[in-house]
Structures are given as C-alpha cells and as structure tokens.
Amino acid sequence: MAAKSSPISESKNTVSLGAKIKIYYDRPLPEYDHGPLKAYEAVSYLNDVTKCYALICERAYMPRLTLVENYVRVNNPGLVNLVGNGVVFWTPAKEERYVFVYQTRASAQKISDDKPEIALGLSPSMVLKNIIPPFVSILTDLEHKRINHGSLCLSNVFAQYQDNNIVDVFIGDMLSLPYGMAQPSIYKTVPTALAEQGGIGTGYIANDIYAFGVCVALMLRTKDPMEGKSDDFIIEAKLQKGSYATLLDKQRFSGPFLELLKGVLQDDPLKRWSVEEISLWYDGRQLSPKQNPPPKIAPRPLEFENKKYNQIATLAKELSKAPASAAHLVESGQLSHWLERALSDKKAVARYERAMGFVRENLKTHEKNIMIASNLAIGMNTANPIFYKGRALYPEAFGDKLIEATEKGEDPNPIVEILKQGLFNSWFIFKLEAGGSDYLGMSEHFEAARNALRGKKTGYGVERCIYMLSKRVHCMSPLLKNVIAYDAAEIALKLDRLLEQNPKAVSQLMDRHIAAFLIEREPQVIERRLFDLDSPHQSEVMHAILSCYAAIQKRHKIDSLPHLAKALLKKIKPCYRVFYDLTLRKTIEDKVSKAAEKGDLPGMLSMIEDPVTRSRDRKAYNSAVEEYYKLEIESQELQMNLIDRSSFNKSFGREISAMIASGLSIIVIVFIAISFYTGG
C-alpha cells in the first residue's frame, strides 16, 4: 500500500522530476541511502499524494538503465515500487544528476545495517513463513525477466512488523549502481568478492541465489563464527572450508533448512541450487544438495612471500600481489614441480602451461613479471577476476571502471593496459576451455575495443572504448560537464542551452568525447565527416562540425538551435573560401547569417554545400583561369622580347638596314637592266 502523506509540509528547496514529482533536497532520508548514494524525501502527485524517497546517482557510477524497462514489468510486491526516474538539475551540486524515485511503505525498516557481524537469531518458523516466500517469488520473477539483482543484502531488505514479528519483506533499489557495488563482501561468492567494488560487471542469477542463502544464514544464526575477522580472512576461510562451514560453523538447523542452506551456499555455481530447485524445496520436495569433492590439498606446501600454501585457489589470488616473487616461482621451476608432484593435478599443469604460453605471446620485457603473475592468477583459478597492478575486475566491468576513473580524475592506465596487452583474451580463452561458450562473442567485442584503443585520431582512443564497453553511459565530454546527454539530440539541445547561459564557457563545439559518443550511438550523423575533424585545414574541420550538428537537427526534427548556430557562425568563416567569386562569397555569407538567426543548421549547411551554386562558381572560375592563362602566355612572350632592350634595338636596326639595302639593290639592278635594253 502507498504511504499517503499526512499533510506534507511545503518547502522551496525542491527540484522537480517531470511535472508531478518533487524532491526535497533539504530532507535527507539516511535509512534509504544505498552504498555511496544519498536518499532524500520525495512526493509523487501522479495519482494521489504519495510519499516517496529519491536516490541521487553519482556521475562516476553508472546506473543500470538497460534494466529499467524490464524491472517495471516485473510487478512483484517484493520489489520496491519504482515511481519515476530521469534527469534533474540537482541544486546542491549545481549539475544534472540521474535520479530514481521509489515509493515508501508505512512502518518499513531495514532488517539490519551494514555492520560486519550479523547474527539475528530470527525464529525459523517466521523466516520460513514470512520471509522466504517473497524471496523465492522475487528470484523467480527476476530470472524470468533475465535480471540479475546484485544488491541483495540485509541492509537493502526492508521489513514490515506487527507485534515485533516480521510479517512481510521487500527488497530495495538495484538500479542506481553497477552490479554488486553496494553489496558487502560477505554476500558475494569468493571469486566476485575478490573483485574491487563495482568490478563484477553484469553478474548472474546464481550470484543472487548465493546472496539469498547468505541472507537466510545471517537471519537464522545466533552467533557469528567470523566475528572480528577481515573480509580477506573470511574469503580465505570460504576457500579452505567452504561457505556453509564459514558462515555457520557448528550451528545446527532443522533438516529442511540444512538442505536449503547447503544447496544455495554451494561454492561451485554448477552445483548450486537453481531458482526452480528452491521452489521445489519450499513446496516440500526433498532435495539432496550436490556434494563438492574436497579440494586437492598438497601434502607438501609451496612457500610464497613467507607464507605456505597447499591449495591452488588460495595461492592464485595472491600471485599478482608480488609479481617478482611469482616470476621467481616460474623461472626456478618450483611452481610447475609443485603442481606435478605435490598436487598431481594434470588439469592445473595444463592451465599453467597455457598461461605461460600467453606470456610468451604477449611479452614486453619491462612488464614480464606482471604478465607472468596476472596470467598465472587467471589460469590457476579460472573463476577469478583479472588481477593487474593492484586492480581486480571482470572484463564486463571495464567500461564502468573507465568511466569511474575518468569522472574521479584517477589513472585509467591499468585498465587501458589490460586491453592493450590482451589480458582479457587469456581470461576469455580459459573461460571457453572451461565450457563457457557464451564468452566467444564477448571476446570479439573486446578485441574491437582494443583496436579502437590503438587509434590516435578523433573518435578513437580511450574515449571510444568507454562508449563501446558501456552502452548506458551519457556523453562524458568536458563541454557537457554539468549536464547529462544520453543521445545526439540531447547533446545539441544542451550545448545550445549552455551557449545561451554563458557563450564564453564553451571553448569549442566538438571534442574527442562527443565524436566517439556519436560514432558509437548515431554513426549516421558523423561518419561521413569523421576524418575531416583531424584535418589541418580549419575550413574542413568547421565544415565537418557544422555538417554533424545539422544532421542531428534534421534527424531529430529539432525546431531551432539559435545559440549553437550563432556560435558556429563565428567559426565557419574559413568555409566561405571554397567560393571563388568574392561577390558570391558575400551573398552566401549573408544567406548563412539569416539561416543562423533562425537556428537552422541544415539551412546554413545547404548554402555552403549547394551543388548548383558551387558548380557555377567553379565553372566561372575555371573559365577565368583559362582566359588568364592565355593572357599570361602573351604577356610572357612580350616580356621575353623586352628582357634586353639594347639587343632588341640592335636586332631591329639590322632588320631595317637589311630591308633598305635590299631595296636599293633592286633599284640599281632594275636601272642597269633598263639601260642595257634601251642602249643607253
């Protein structure tokens, strides 16, 4: 049921999401905070006046927007009801933020906080009757919609009480943060717990089933056997003893609960109970949890960094922490000898040799030790994330972690190097060899991102990788620093608005981020002119930028972009130089100015690109050039004759003298001839 407001006090300190949702930024609700995100009181006027809370996303952490549509369709009372979501201008931060607004429920409160030691000792009958059914229903619906929750933990489970008994539960937000980012380590499987916060990627329903099992164990147990222990200690214990023994130790439960907990806390995901098996168990079917074979224990431990190891899994997670020591284990032959003789594990030996093959294929001398340690860590336990230079993450999280590093001003190079050096290929190949056929397409996608990373031109590099690897991120251009744009139309409209507010604040109209975003999201508007953005000629650069924004305005039927047009008008003067006729050039410039006044970018572009006008101008120019060429030849001939005036005069005098001499000679000959014939 909706929690109706009892009249809600007004406040001027609000922001609006649409026309019917108000968020009060001076009224925090810490009980609804989620991980690093803060919650605030909100009110919805969509149907009736309804109390809500709003989670304000941080720009460094990408919300899971691709899941919103399916989430709304789930329609399960065990999930918190999403009332609205979208972008608001968040006044306290003076920038746009994405928000999720959820409906609150009367008297609901968290089952537990995020304290390290949780042992609630709840009544098994109450857990069975009032808590497990909503969980099973939620997991079933999420699986049908192919949604992985990733935020299942007791600090995100809300309960409604009656006479101090829990009568109903529902799970809070799962959309505002990357998968698993707000989930404490204890709720994660060992491999995912080894990844850094936000470094898991998309996750799997099997991970949510495991988290469900941890929730049940923590609600039922009366004592925490790991009290006071660190996350690393608990992970180590799970590896050596298994999750069930680590979380519950010697505590005993009735037969049905024993079956459930052993089934869902199974460390091997292939043997972990499915949602269907949980449903069958709840319906009364007796199911025997699949038993794991005991991990291979080496009778002779291997020493590494002054600590002794007798299991592969416990060693694998430590190798990348000391690359030089890991390389020494390889080069001295100690590791291969230990795998062959002490463990007698042929599969492990094969993976070791495969990992060393990857090192030889991709070796760079100055990275030799790091490459050995990272490839070994993957090969020795193929469920592990990629360990590299202090980072631990799964390939699916590369995009989110590049975004986080960019927004926080942190060093993205470790992730960039993982891509450049092809470490992700080692990870994918080990996954494929372990039977993960769905990783083949992913490997090709990451190889394409690697190729884009190598590009130096605009539209490539790290920026292109971000938009290739994260399909839900907004354009991260510094030109759009305080706004959020999820498509090309929003880029143009918000850039226009920023130019209206402060034209001097926008130093340029296109950068590497906008170009990379557009080539990934809407290549139709930029691909024809992409390479012109790197031209040494300013006319070609500005022509490309105008062409891009004009295509956006036309494609999205945007009425007017007056401030963007005005800014472009000041920068496209070099584009007029394509016209040879100065009078025509001035006419075109006037027409472009009139189109700019209307905010009509396609109109501006059409004046510059008009094929008829340009053809006529070119023909007139070519004709003028030809006439000029002819005159130039005549001029050159005359100039050649006038180069040396004295020689010209002498030559000319000689010609005249010869002509006079010839004339006189003819007269004399004629006179003699006449005298001869007349006799005298």
Assign 368 to helix, strand or coil. helix
**Mean pLDDT in residue range 248-263:** 87
How does residue 97 score in pLDDT terms, banded at 50, 70 and 90? very high
| Cα(635)–Cα(253) distance, integer angstroms | 111
State both tokens at 670: 């004629």
| Cα(42)–Cα(335) distance, integer angstroms | 59
Q: Which of 302, 297, 61, 34 shows the shortest CA–CA distance to 153? A: 34
**Mean pLDDT in residue range 238-245:** 91
State both tokens at 7: 């009249």
Q: Which of 546, 475, 476, 479 shows the shortest CA–CA distance to 508? A: 479
> What distances in angstroms separate CA 435 from CA 16, 310, 429, 438, 559, one per listed residue?
50, 26, 10, 9, 54
Q: Do the Cβ atoms of 88 and 96 come closer than 8 Å?
A: yes
**Mean pLDDT in residue range 201-226:** 93
pLDDT for 215 equals 95
In DSSP terms, which residues pair with 469 in a beta bridge? Answer: none
Element (H, E) at 519: helix 512-521
pLDDT for 63 equals 96
Pairing verdict, β 109-110 and 157-162: antiparallel
Q: Do the Cβ atoms of 348 and 309 come closer than 8 Å?
A: no
Topology adopted by domain 14-103: Phosphorylase Kinase; domain 1 (3.30.200)
How does residue 2 score in pLDDT terms, banded at 50, 70 and 90? very low
Q: Is the pLDDT of residue 650 over 90?
A: no
Q: pLDDT tens digits, residue range 129-184?
A: 999 999 999 999 999 999 999 999 999 999 998 888 899 999 999 999 999 999 99
Assign 671 to helix, strand or coil. helix
Greatest CA separation for the chain: 168
| Cα(402)–Cα(644) distance, integer angstroms | 75
The full set of domain ranges for the chain reads 14-103, 109-282, 302-469, 478-609, 615-642, 644-680
Treating both helix axes as pointing N-terminal to C-terminal, what angle do 205-220 and 255-264 enclose, rounded to 10 degrees?
140
Q: Do the Cβ atoms of 345 and 352 come closer than 8 Å?
A: no
First to last CA, the chain: 152
pLDDT for 285 equals 87
Lowest mean pLDDT among 14-18, 217-221, 230-234, 654-658: 654-658
Lowest mean pLDDT among 353-357, 391-395, 502-506: 502-506
pTM comes to 0.86
> What distances in angstroms separate CA 454 from CA 400, 447, 460, 493, one per listed residue?
20, 11, 8, 32
| Cα(23)–Cα(27) distance, integer angstroms | 9
> What distances in angstroms separate CA 18 from CA 3, 23, 88, 130, one per listed residue?
21, 11, 9, 37
**Mean pLDDT in residue range 189-194:** 95
Q: Which of 8, 17, 10, 33 shows the shortest CA–CA distance to 84? A: 17
| Cα(83)–Cα(72) distance, integer angstroms | 9
**Mean pLDDT in residue range 463-481:** 93
pLDDT for 362 equals 72
**Mean pLDDT in residue range 316-327:** 92
How does residue 6 score in pLDDT terms, banded at 50, 70 and 90? very low
Question: What does CATH list as the number for 109-282?
Answer: 1.10.510.10
Q: Is the pLDDT of residue 278 over 70?
A: yes
